[in-house]
Amino acid sequence: MQGDFFIKYLLHGISAAVVFYTFIKTHCMKYVTLTGIMILLFTAIHLPAQNVKEIFQYNWGGASVQDGGSLTKDGKIYLSQKMKIYIDADNKISGKITTVFTLDKVSYTRVANIMGTYYPDSQEIYIDEKSYSRSDALPHNLFWCPGRGYLKVYKNADRPGHYLIKGTIRGYGSGCETVNEWELKDE
Are 65 and 102 part of one and the same domain? yes
Domain that holds residue 153: 52-186
What does 112-125 look like in DSSP terms, one character per residue?
EEEEEEEETTTTEE
Are 38 and 79 part of one and the same domain? no
Are 19 and 95 part of one and the same domain? no
pLDDT band at 69 (very low <50, low <70, confident <90, very high): confident
Are 25 and 57 part of one and the same domain? no
Burial annotation 141-151 (CB, 10 A radius, 16+ → b, else e): eeebbbbbbbb
Helix ranges, the chain (H): 2-27, 34-44, 52-56
Q: How far apart are CA 127 and CA 34, in angstroms?
A: 50
Are 139 and 79 part of one and the same domain? yes
Average pLDDT (113-127) is 93
Are 15 and 60 part of one and the same domain? no
Are 97 and 138 part of one and the same domain? yes
- Indicate the number of domains in the chain: 2
Whether pLDDT at 97 is above 80: yes
Closest C-alpha among 184, 108, 173, 106 to residue 146: 173
Are 107 and 134 part of one and the same domain? yes
- Which of these ranges, 17-21, 73-77, 122-126, 173-177, has the smallest mean pLDDT? 17-21
What CATH number does the domain containing 83 carry?
Answer: 2.40.128
- pLDDT score, position 178: 87
- pLDDT score, position 158: 93
Are 10 and 81 part of one and the same domain? no
Are 146 and 108 part of one and the same domain? yes
Are 66 and 120 part of one and the same domain? yes
